[in-house]
Amino acid sequence: MTASEQHKPLDVFILAAGLGTRMKSRRAKVLHELGGLPLIAHVCRTAQALGPERIIVVVGHQAAEVEDVVRTEIGHLARFALQPEQRGTGDAVEVARTMLENSESLLLVLSGDVPLVKPETLTKLVEHHRSTRSDCSILSVRLENPTGYGRVIRDAQESFARIVEQKDATDEQRQVREINSGIYCFETKKLFKALSRVEPANEQGEYYLTDVPEILMADGARVTVYLHNDSREVSGINTRADLAEFENLLRRNTIRSLMIEGGVTFIDPSHTYISAEAKIGLDCVIYPGVSIEGRSTVGEGCTIHSGARITSSRLGDNVVIKDRCVIVDSEIESNCSVGPFAHLRMNARLEESAAVGNFVEVKKSRLGRGTKAMHLSYLGDATIGEKTNIGAGTVTCNYDGKSKHETLIEDNVKIGSDTMLVAPVRVGARSVTGAGSVVTRDVPPDSLVAGVPAVVKKRLGERNDEKKG
């Protein structure tokens, strides 16, 4: 082998066109999520970590959605090949022929449904491929229960002979526990040469990529097997039961590393759900039944009580989230307290030391520093200043049946219990609304309003003047 051959560039090829019949879903299998991230996104990240020249993804079912996910993960590295009809893994590679067949590269083939394979393992496969001067290297593992997988059949000398799919295997072959992981490294040109000879002469009437190694061997090419020792890592997801098993595995790993390396306390790790994308700071305490989803960030010293769901949100330091809160796409600064039973959504923002209590919904609204809304309120499309108190039962009436309107409440305001703020409306600084007010017009600063509709009863500044007089 010449030096230039040894350093052939690496291309990665990802099979992701299938629907995944065994998932029993309308959604393409590779779009199903594991740890809050589509399966295909996991595979793309791993592929990217190897520093390949290109990553070619074969798409078919829900191609547009799959392409979107891939672009989000790996952007310009991605190339797509469309497999209009899913006629097997061999056919899936065939559709990229024009893109690859003359390429002087190594082609690392991955499956979109094998999401937890580690970059190190793939690097070892590529190293094995190079050092054994193989034309095709197959990553295999031994499984306790190999049912469903293609079996690696070896000859009397223990060398690779062929791969036989479960459905085509004899009873004797089905006893073999060494399986094909669906991950291979090929000399690209040789792969495409052999591929044109694959026939759909099998139980499923499909073009099998797994026939290529045997064809290569018949041509005198070198085919080897790299037996990996971690079977879980390279197992594929075919059913929802597999998906749940992987979810558990991934979650256990995520939580374990948060405990061991991240200094986070979990009261009951087996009943806590943390996305692999989430970041959680030192000395946080997480109670059972909490879900932290998406790219959420939680600062240091936060306490998150039972049953809270936090999705794609940011929490500062020392935040307390009480039981059963739902927090989506929102931001909570340090020293805030939320809940129990509060709902923050659509870019709700609590500034430093603000507090939101029982049965309060905050939508697309900002609460300034130290502002409190402790009971039974709806705050939507509202901007609320600092140190304001929102009384129990306050509602921003933001919707007139056609459009949404904004409410502006300035600093140091006291909104009385059961106030209806009919937006668009503004309440000036230091003003007070009486209990049960229906505020339909702007309230000037330093005033007390009350009634239905609310009118100014008193200028709070005047009271001071009266005293002086």
Query: Residue 125 or 290: which CB sits closer to ligand UD1?
Result: 125
d(CA 446, CA 18): 66
Q: Is 231 in the site for ligand UD1 (CB under 6 A)?
A: no
Output the CA angle 55-56-60, nearest 5 degrees: 140
Among 16, 264, 284, 439, which residue interacts with ligand UD1 (rule: CB under 6 A)?
16
Query: Residue 115 or 391: which CB sits closer to ligand UD1?
Result: 115
Contacts of 261 (CB under 8 A, 6+ apart): none
Query: Residue 236 or 357: which CB sits closer to ligand UD1?
Result: 236
Among 113, 293, 331, 333, which residue interacts with ligand UD1 (rule: CB under 6 A)?
113
Sheet with 407-409, edge to edge strand ranges:
279-280, 297-298, 314-315, 331-332, 349-350, 366-367, 382-384, 407-409, 425-427
Q: Is 38 in the site for ligand UD1 (CB under 6 A)?
A: no
DSSP per position, 357-384? EET-EEES-EE-TT-EEEES-EEESEEE
Nearest to ligand UD1 by Cβ — which residue? 150
Closest CA relative to residue 129, chosen from 140, 117, 138: 138
Helices (runs of H) and strands (runs of E) counted in the chain: 11, 42
Q: Is 208 in the site for ligand UD1 (CB under 6 A)?
A: yes
φ, ψ for residue 304 (rounded to 5)? -120, 110
Among 105, 134, 180, 330, which residue interacts with ligand UD1 (rule: CB under 6 A)?
180
CB-based burial label for 309 (10 Å; 0-12, 13-18, 19+): buried
Among 38, 52, 112, 299, which residue interacts with ligand UD1 (rule: CB under 6 A)?
112
Q: Say which entry of ligand UD1, Mg ion, none residue 213 contacts (CB below 5 to 8 A, set by partner kind).
A: none
Choose one: 89-97, 129-137, 192-200, 385-393; the region binding ligand UD1 (CB under 6 A): 89-97
Q: Is 91 in the site for ligand UD1 (CB under 6 A)?
A: yes
Q: Which amino acid is at 329?
A: D
Shortest distance (Å) from residue 48 CB to Mg ion: 22
Q: Identify residues 157-216 at the interface with Mg ion (CB under 5 A).
A: none
* Total Cβ atoms within 10 A of residue 248: 11
Choose one: 106-114, 285-293, 343-351, 430-438; the region binding ligand UD1 (CB under 6 A): 106-114
Report the catalytic residues: 375
Choose one: 219-227, 238-246, 297-305, 399-407; the region binding Mg ion (CB under 5 A): 238-246
Closest CA relative to residue 107, chosen from 192, 10, 15: 10
Shortest distance (Å) from residue 320 CB to Mg ion: 44
CB-based burial label for 124 (10 Å; 0-12, 13-18, 19+): middle
Contacts of 436 (CB under 8 A, 6+ apart): 416, 417, 418, 419, 450, 452
Q: Say which entry of Mg ion, ligand UD1, none residue 286 contacts (CB below 5 to 8 A, set by partner kind).
A: none
Joined together, the tokens standing for residue 132 give 């054994």
Q: Is 146 in the site for Mg ion (CB under 5 A)?
A: no
Q: Output the furthest CA–CA distance in the chain (Å, rounded).
A: 112
Q: Is 20 in the site for Mg ion (CB under 5 A)?
A: no
Q: Is 239 in the site for ligand UD1 (CB under 6 A)?
A: no
Shortest distance (Å) from residue 131 CB to ligand UD1: 24
φ, ψ for residue 166 (rounded to 5)? -45, -50
Q: Where are the beta strands (DSSP E) in 17-150?
A: 33-34, 37-38, 54-59, 78-82, 106-111, 136-142
Q: Contacts with Mg ion: how many residues (CB under 5 A)?
A: 3
Query: Residue 86 or 347: which CB sits closer to ligand UD1?
Result: 86
Q: Is 236 in the site for Mg ion (CB under 5 A)?
A: yes
Shortest distance (Å) from residue 208 CB to ligand UD1: 4
Which ranges of 233-378 would DSSP assign to H, the alpha helix? 240-260
Among 62, 103, 111, 254, which residue interacts with ligand UD1 (rule: CB under 6 A)?
111
What is the contact mask toward ligand UD1 in residues 40 to 69, using x (rule: CB under 6 A)? Answer: ------------------x-----------
Tell me which residues touch ligand UD1 (CB under 6 A).
Answer: 15-18, 30, 58, 83, 86-89, 91-92, 111-114, 149-150, 163, 165, 179-182, 208-210, 236, 238
